[in-house]
């Protein structure tokens, strides 16, 4: 890993053994983007990557010089107004109304390690040897503004982490209308744009389209990263597959309104930009103030989308989530939500906990309904004190009883929200986001607290610490069940209203930061009506996220497969729930429910006290099995084998291989049975072709090369005469464990 600057050639080369990223200082002082891809060797110079072009019908920067137009340059951080007509990375409105900017190279620094981003989550290293950062200062002399572009490289991963700081060194006040975290101009447009889109209960479905001239984008204006579009996009070549071909991914480490945009120009150059959504955003930057953008990660793979995903998985696991949770095992949990909803008392909770304990479950999570007068979703949010009618001994009482059974205890909270029917709202009716002269829309009968205000965050922090200070709590599920409407803050002046959404998310990050500092051993799981805020911004604080409210095993195949494009399976909350399933009323066997949930953080969310002996004994075995393979599942490398988004979508398969390739676990799933199917096989990936492996349903060891190049031979499920065949019928699944011998 290194960052080199060649003074004579005016070139920066950031590289490690997998990747090169080359930036040049163009003749007008702007930065040119020269290369992102496989590691380059040998001398580098500008003429290898760009040439002057004298083209007709083109504006040029210098009088008498028909060779240099920004419209023809591939750039690092473009602006609008001087010969480039494409979408800019930055837009600053000045006192006289002008938006012309001209940021030119001034200085740079190469730093060992990675400085944190003020107030924002970002990738981090505990040892400065694990990263190198390049900071390039660009200055607009007319405006007295300094723009610092930051780039970090890590030793073993083909990624660059980018962010931007803008400092107002002069006396004038500016309005920043747009300030992207990342912009990059790729040489061509022969790419397919792949996004993760959906909605509540069907989050992160894979969608791909070929790039076309003009702009294509995804984003959010909801105040959260959203279930509709995840802040991730991948470009892949048409011929790219799981384990072959080029792919580029961008992931934004941010949980609020975002934009990810691709623009193809008439030469086929593709500009990707990513950052805070400029729609509705503006930031008032006074003299001496600094604005910090979120971080965006760009990753490259020359060997398929599988390695691209594994790069993000490793990056998030090693350099984003809290260090403690990189190694500590994630507990198998029981959550009472789908078992009881709001309708529980201490006796019910304790009987659920007792059954869970007898099955080997390690953590009891008390979900919504334990506080204030929360008996349905019209009440309670904001009153973060225990409802003693339900829990007479308080949270301390129930937590201690569960701890004394030998299980850990966890709690659900939704700190950003309020119901009107609460003491909290009566005391602070003016703390909502909204315009007092207009209607306040609701969602699930709740309103959004104005987290852009420090006093609001402080008040919630004080209430929560009163609950958490004296109670043995090991886990918190932090939920967020609605998006922001009527975006207006009574505490912001007119010129600062455009700051609300960003200030809101900074308030959320601030509360997370304060709670984590105070309770460093609590495991946080983020949630937003399921996976409505599943993003790297929150993974920085909460290493796991409730993937979806949809707990049906069949539906989860697409959701977990799509999510795995960028997020590690150790971050995906996945529970076995009851049948008929509460979201789709499907009756999938307990086996497939477990087999799907294993590939996540694993837990249960159903009433264990009403299950049959047979079901209890199957669950006991599932818990035992998961504990045995937990470390492999959470620390291994994830390989996708069959996609639920391709062919008929009837089969899905994936596997996890230990980093040393000595162990693996494979999951195969089939939705509907096939009549009279012939023999078929499942090709594995990621093993060592030269090693011999013992595979769970085979007597003799099989070589890695046979498992990968021929595959596991499978008997079709019988649908006819052989009624004893345990693999018959719909909703089939198989799990293989594999060990090198």
- Regarding 530 and contact with ligand GLA (CB under 6 A), the answer is yes
- Regarding 524 and contact with ligand GLA (CB under 6 A), the answer is no
Coil vs helix vs strand at 402:
helix
Contact criterion met (CB below 8 Å) for 146 and 106: yes
- Regarding 527 and contact with ligand GLA (CB under 6 A), the answer is yes
Selected range binding ligand GLA among 235-243, 445-453, 522-530, 580-588, rule: CB under 6 A? 522-530
- Regarding 198 and contact with ligand GLA (CB under 6 A), the answer is no
As measured in angstroms, the least distance from the Cβ of 532 to ligand GLA is: 8
Phi, psi of 11 (to 5 degrees): -130, 140
Phi, psi of 735 (to 5 degrees): -125, 130
As measured in angstroms, the least distance from the Cβ of 369 to ligand GLA is: 8
Instruction: List the structure tokens of 424.
Output: 């909290």
Instruction: List the structure tokens of 739.
Output: 């060990």
Tokens 């201690």 belong to 400
Which of 367, 383, 499, 535 binds ligand GLA (CB under 6 A)? It is: 367
Length of the chain: 741
Tokens 């507990």 belong to 331
Q: Quick one: DSSP state of residue 371?
A: B
Strand locations in 453-519 (E): 475-478
Contact string (CB under 6 A) for ligand GLA, positions 462-491, x = contact: -----------------x-x----------
Distance, in Å, from the CA atom of 390 to the CA atom of 370, rounded to the nearest integer, reads 7
Distance, in Å, from the CA atom of 315 to the CA atom of 646, rounded to the nearest integer, reads 28
**182 vs 538 by CB, closer to ligand GLA:** 538
Whose CB is nearest to ligand GLA? 368
As measured in angstroms, the least distance from the Cβ of 416 to ligand GLA is: 13
**19 vs 398 by CB, closer to ligand GLA:** 398
- Regarding 547 and contact with ligand GLA (CB under 6 A), the answer is no
- Regarding 185 and contact with ligand GLA (CB under 6 A), the answer is no
- Regarding 549 and contact with ligand GLA (CB under 6 A), the answer is yes
Contact criterion met (CB below 8 Å) for 415 and 402: no
Q: Is 189 considered catalytic here?
A: no
Surface-to-core class of residue 475, CB atoms within 10 Å of its CB (0-12 exposed, 13-18 middle, 19+ buried)? buried
- Regarding 263 and contact with ligand GLA (CB under 6 A), the answer is no
Selected range binding ligand GLA among 527-535, 607-615, 628-636, 718-726, rule: CB under 6 A? 527-535
Selected range binding ligand GLA among 51-59, 246-254, 318-326, 526-534, rule: CB under 6 A? 526-534
Question: H or E element: which one contains 356?
Answer: helix 346-358
Selected range binding ligand GLA among 15-23, 509-517, 524-532, 596-604, rule: CB under 6 A? 524-532
Q: Quick one: DSSP state of residue 120?
A: S
Q: Which of 670, 504, 533 is nearest to 595 (CA)?
A: 670
- Regarding 337 and contact with ligand GLA (CB under 6 A), the answer is yes
Which of 300, 412, 504, 668 binds ligand GLA (CB under 6 A)? It is: 412
Q: Is 377 considered catalytic here?
A: no
Which of 167, 368, 552, 618 binds ligand GLA (CB under 6 A)? It is: 368
Q: Which of 84, 185, 368, 549 is catalytic?
A: 549
Q: Under rule CB under 6 A, how many of the chain's residues touch ligand GLA?
A: 11
The percent of the chain in helix, strand and coil, each rounded to the nearest 5, is 20, 30, 45
As measured in angstroms, the least distance from the Cβ of 23 to ligand GLA is: 43
As measured in angstroms, the least distance from the Cβ of 579 to ligand GLA is: 18
**231 vs 530 by CB, closer to ligand GLA:** 530
Selected range binding ligand GLA among 65-73, 307-315, 525-533, 638-646, rule: CB under 6 A? 525-533
Partnered with residue 230 across adjacent β-strands are none
Contact criterion met (CB below 8 Å) for 155 and 163: no
As measured in angstroms, the least distance from the Cβ of 185 to ligand GLA is: 40
As measured in angstroms, the least distance from the Cβ of 547 to ligand GLA is: 10
- Regarding 601 and contact with ligand GLA (CB under 6 A), the answer is no
- Regarding 344 and contact with ligand GLA (CB under 6 A), the answer is no
As measured in angstroms, the least distance from the Cβ of 551 to ligand GLA is: 9
**255 vs 529 by CB, closer to ligand GLA:** 529
Distance, in Å, from the CA atom of 706 to the CA atom of 650, rounded to the nearest integer, reads 25
Question: Quick one: three-class SS letters along 314-336?
Answer: HHHHHHCCCCHHHHCCCCCEEEC
Instruction: Centre a 10 Å sphere on the Cβ of residue 495 and count the other Cβ atoms it contains.
Output: 12
**71 vs 550 by CB, closer to ligand GLA:** 550
Distance, in Å, from the CA atom of 643 to the CA atom of 640, rounded to the nearest integer, reads 7
**What contacts 614, CB < 8 A, 6 or more positions away?**
none
Which of 69, 529, 544, 601 binds ligand GLA (CB under 6 A)? It is: 529
Q: Which of 581, 404, 368, 584 is nearest to 478 (CA)?
A: 368
Q: Which residues bind ligand GLA (CB under 6 A)?
A: 337, 367-368, 412, 479, 481, 527, 529-530, 546, 549
Catalytically annotated residues: 479, 549
């Amino acid at each position: 890993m290194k960052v080199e600057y060649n003074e004579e050639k005016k070139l920066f080369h950031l590289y490690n053994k997998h990747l090169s990223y080359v930036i040049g200082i163009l003749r007008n002082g702007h930065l040119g983007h020269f290369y992102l891809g496989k590691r380059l060797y040998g001398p580098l110079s500008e003429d290898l990557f760009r040439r002057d072009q004298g083209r007709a019908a083109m504006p040029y920067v210098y009088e008498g010089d028909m060779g240099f137009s920004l419209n023809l340059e591939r750039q690092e951080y473009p602006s609008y107004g001087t010969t480039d007509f494409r979408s800019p990375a930055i837009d600053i409105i000045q006192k006289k109304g002008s938006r012309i900017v001209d940021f030119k190279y001034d200085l740079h620094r190469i730093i060992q390690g990675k400085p944190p981003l003020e107030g924002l989550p970002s990738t981090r290293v505990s040892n400065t040897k694990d990263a190198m950062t390049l900071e390039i200062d660009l200055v607009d002399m007319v405006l007295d503004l300094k723009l610092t572009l930051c780039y970090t490289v890590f030793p073993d991963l083909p990624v660059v982490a980018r962010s931007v700081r803008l400092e107002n060194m002069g006396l004038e006040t500016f309005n920043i209308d747009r300030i992207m975290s990342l912009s990059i101009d790729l040489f061509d447009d022969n790419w397919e744009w792949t996004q993760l889109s959906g909605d509540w209960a069907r989050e992160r479905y894979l969608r791909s389209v070929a790039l076309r001239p003009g702009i294509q984008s995804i984003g959010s204006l909801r105040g959260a990263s959203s279930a509709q579009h995840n802040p991730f996009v991948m470009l892949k070549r048409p011929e790219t597959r799981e384990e072959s071909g080029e792919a580029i991914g961008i992931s934004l480490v941010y949980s609020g309104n975002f934009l990810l945009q691709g623009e193809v120009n008439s030469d086929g150059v593709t500009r990707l930009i990513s950052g805070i959504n400029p729609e509705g955003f503006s930031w008032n930057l006074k003299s001496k103030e600094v604005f910090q953008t979120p971080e965006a990660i760009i990753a490259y793979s020359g060997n398929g989308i599988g390695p691209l995903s594994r790069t993000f998985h490793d990056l998030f696991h090693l350099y984003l989530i809290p260090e403690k949770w990189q190694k500590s095992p994630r507990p198998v949990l029981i959550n009472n939500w789908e078992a009881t909803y709001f309708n529980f008392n201490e006796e019910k909770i304790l009987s659920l906990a007792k059954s869970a304990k007898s099955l080997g479950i390690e953590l009891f999570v008390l979900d919504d309904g334990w506080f204030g007068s929360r008996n349905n979703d019209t009440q309670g949010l904001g009153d973060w004190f225990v409802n003693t009618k339900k829990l007479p001994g308080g949270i301390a009482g129930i937590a201690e009883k569960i701890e004394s059974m030998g299980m850990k205890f966890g709690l659900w909270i939704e700190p950003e929200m309020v119901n009107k029917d609460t003491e909290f709202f009566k005391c602070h009716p003016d703390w909502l986001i909204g315009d007092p002269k207009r209607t306040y829309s609701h969602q699930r009968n709740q309103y959004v607290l104005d987290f852009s205000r420090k006093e609001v965050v402080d008040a919630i922090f004080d209430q929560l610490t009163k609950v958490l200070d004296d109670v043995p709590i090991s886990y918190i599920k932090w939920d967020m069940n609605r998006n922001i409407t009527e975006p207006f803050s009574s505490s912001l002046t007119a010129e600062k209203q455009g700051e609300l959404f960003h200030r809101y998310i900074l308030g959320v990050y601030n509360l997370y930061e304060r709670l984590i500092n105070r309770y460093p051993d609590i495991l946080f799981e983020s949630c937003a009506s399921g996976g409505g805020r599943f993003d790297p911004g929150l993974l920085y604080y909460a290493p796991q996220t409730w993937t979806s409210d949809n707990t049906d095993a069949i539906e989860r195949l697409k959701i977990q497969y799509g999510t795995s494009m960028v997020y590690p399976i150790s971050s995906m909350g996945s529970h076995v729930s009851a049948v008929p399933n509460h979201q789709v009323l499907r009756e999938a066997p307990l086996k497939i429910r477990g087999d799907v949930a294993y590939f996540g953080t694993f837990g249960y969310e159903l009433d264990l006290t009403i299950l049959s002996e047979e079901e209890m004994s199957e669950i006991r075995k599932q818990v035992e099995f998961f504990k045995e393979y937990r470390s492999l599942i959470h620390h291994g490398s994830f390989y996708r084998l069959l996609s639920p988004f391709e062919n008929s979508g009837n089969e899905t398969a994936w596997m996890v291989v230990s980093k040393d390739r000595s162990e693996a676990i494979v999951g195969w799933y089939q939705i509907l049975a096939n009549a009279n199917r012939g023999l078929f096989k499942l090709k594995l990936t990621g093993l060592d072709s030269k090693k011999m492996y013992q595979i769970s349903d085979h007597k003799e060891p099989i070589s890695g090369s046979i498992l990968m190049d021929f595959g596991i031979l499978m008997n079709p499920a019988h649908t006819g005469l052989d009624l004893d065949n345990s693999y018959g019928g719909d909703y089939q699944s198989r799990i293989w464990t594999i060990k090198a011998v």
